[in-house]
Every structure is written in C-alpha cells, then in structure tokens.
Amino acid sequence: MNKNLVSGLTLALSSFALANDAGLTYGGSPSLLKGHKTIQMVSEIIRVDVWKDHEIVDCQFVFKNHGKATKARMGFPDRSSGAGNPEEEGRVDPPKGSFNWFNSWVDGKKVKTTIARGKELGDYWHVKYVPFADGQSVKVHDRYRVDTGFAMTPDNGNVREATYVVHTGASWKGKIGRSDVYVTFHGLKAPLHVMPLLDFSPREGDDEVRGASLHAGRFASSDIVWSGPSKPSVHGTRLHFVRKNWRPQVGDDVDLFFSYYKKK
C-alpha cells in the first residue's frame, strides 16, 4: 500500500462520509521535514503484505547526495483517524503513533528513531538523522506494522482499506528514478479481480458520495478496488504498481479497498 516522507504536505486521504466507527491509517515514503536541495530519491521498493486485520510494510530506498556533505532529517509519516487515532479522545504524552512497531536501518545498520508530533492530533513523524558525504548514495530501510483501515457501512457491512502514501517523495530533489509498490493479500482467492476506484461508482439511485457502493456484500473474496500511481499488474494475489522518472502527486497514493466477505 504504499503504503510510501515530505514535510509540509497534508498526508490525508479521503474517508467516506458514510462510514461510522472508522479506523483509517496512513503510511508513506521518507521525506525531509524541511526540504532539501541536493538529495534525490533514486529508487524505492515497497512491499506491503496485507492480512485481514493488519499490514506489514517493508520499504527499501536509495538516496543520492548531489552536493556537499550534509545531514538530512528524515521523517516517516504516521497518521490515523477515527478509531485508529490514539489521540481520538485527546492528546497523549509522550506521543505514541498508530503503528504497532516501526524499525529503521541506514546502510544495513539499525538506527534509533524518535516520534515527533505533527500539526494535528493523530499526526506523527518517525524521525531520524542521516549523514551524507559528498556525492554519497545511502540505502534506507524502514519496516513497520499497522492495523488495516476499516469502515462500517449503512447496511452493517464493512470494508477494509490498505494505503501507502507515495506523494511525499516529491519533496526530494528532482524526479524519483523508479518506484515499485508490491501489495500481497494473504487469505484472498487468486487471481484478484481489480477495479479502478473511479470506475466503481455508486449504484443507480444512490445519492451518497462516491464510494457509497463499497458494501461488503458486493465483494467477493477476490475483489480489490484500487487507486494508485499506475494500473497495477496482477500476479496471483499480488498487485504491482510501477513508475519511472516521475514526481508523485496526492492522487498517486496507493489506496485499496477489499473485504474478506465471501459471497454465498
């Protein structure tokens, strides 16, 4: 899901107005909290493993410094809403974030991260400092677990959601050389039946907003409704999104809706 971390950008994806007791979690790609003029994200390989109630996300990034030696402050976004927000009932100190756990490595060495609070309750950053020598390339590896998002629908069904934010990668210098996002669903039937979110419009006669037709009862165990940076290729129960030499925008974020409901 990208899953993908740019500061100053709002990491919000739309939650459906029809939902009650929703818990939507968001993740994304590393970013400079104050921007940077010399460091480029050369590539990113994101692997999202999705189960019914949680995701494990593995992120492999390569950054290159096109200037003099510097130290980058990188932040990995951690944002949630509704029941998934640990601060839904009020501020919690120290901030905990919504991830079950988060680990990070730089060039194979595990590094310590701290949680910094964002501008709003439920908005956090997992922060680390990464040194770069002149012209140096650095590999950054982040791995975390997070609960899948969910929403109750008016007909008492439920839809699950897996996301990965890629647009925050646009804060780095120039274009991203290549982005690969692999999403594997565990426990669903192969092959997956994928439908673009823009084509999955409300049923005739409905007056709710787009997405009102995302009822669990309409899903088979292989149905996936998607939006993302490209049309995904499907291999069994895995989706693959890929883009080259690009600058992502908000609309490129990976957003997947699915259900473990099985039609009778």
- Model confidence over 135-180: pLDDT tens digits? 999 999 999 999 888 766 555 557 788 889 888 888 888 899 999 9
The token pair that represents 176 in the structure block: 């991203």
Residue pointed to by tokens 């007056």: 207
Distance from C-alpha of 227 to C-alpha of 151, rounded to nearest angstrom: 17
Q: Tell me the Ramachandran region of residue 59: left when phi exceeds 0, alpha when psi lies from -120 to 50, beta otherwise.
A: beta
The Cα-based distances of 12 to 24, 69, 79, 139 in angstroms read 10, 33, 8, 27
Q: Torsion over CA of 202, 203, 208 and 210, rounded to 10 degrees?
A: 0
The reported pLDDT for the residue numbered 245 is 97
Q: What is the pTM of this model?
A: 0.82
User: Would you state the pLDDT for residue 21?
Assistant: 19
Closest CA to 126 of 79, 182, 181, 87: 79
* pLDDT for position 111: 96
pLDDT of residue 199: 61
Give the pLDDT of the chain (264 residues) as one tens digit per residue: 222 222 211 222 222 222 111 122 346 655 445 457 898 999 999 999 999 889 999 999 999 999 999 988 888 888 777 666 776 667 777 888 888 999 999 999 999 998 888 777 777 888 888 999 999 999 999 999 998 887 665 555 577 888 898 888 888 888 999 999 999 999 998 989 898 887 654 444 333 333 444 554 566 678 898 999 999 999 999 999 999 999 988 889 898 988 876 554
Residue 202: the pLDDT is: 43
Residue 51 is predicted with a pLDDT of 93
Secondary structure of residue 113 in the 3-state scheme: coil
Cα separation values, 43 from 46, 100, 148, 192, Å: 10, 26, 26, 27
User: Which residues, listed in sequence order, are joined to residue 150 by a DSSP beta bridge?
Assistant: 23, 160
User: E strand or H helix at 117, and its extent?
Assistant: strand 114-117
Dihedral pair phi/psi, residue 69, rounded to 5°: -55, 140
Distances (CA, A) of 4 to 76, 168, 210, 222: 9, 8, 24, 24
CA distance 243 to 250: 15
In a 10 Å sphere around its CB, with 0-12 CB exposed, 13-18 middle and 19+ buried, how is residue 17 labelled? exposed
In sequence order, what DSSP letters do the residues of 166-210 get, joined into one string? -GGGGGSSS-EEEEEEEEEESSSPSSPEEEEGGG-PPPTT--SPT
Beta strands 70-82 and 123-132: pairing type? antiparallel
* pLDDT in the model for residue 62: 94
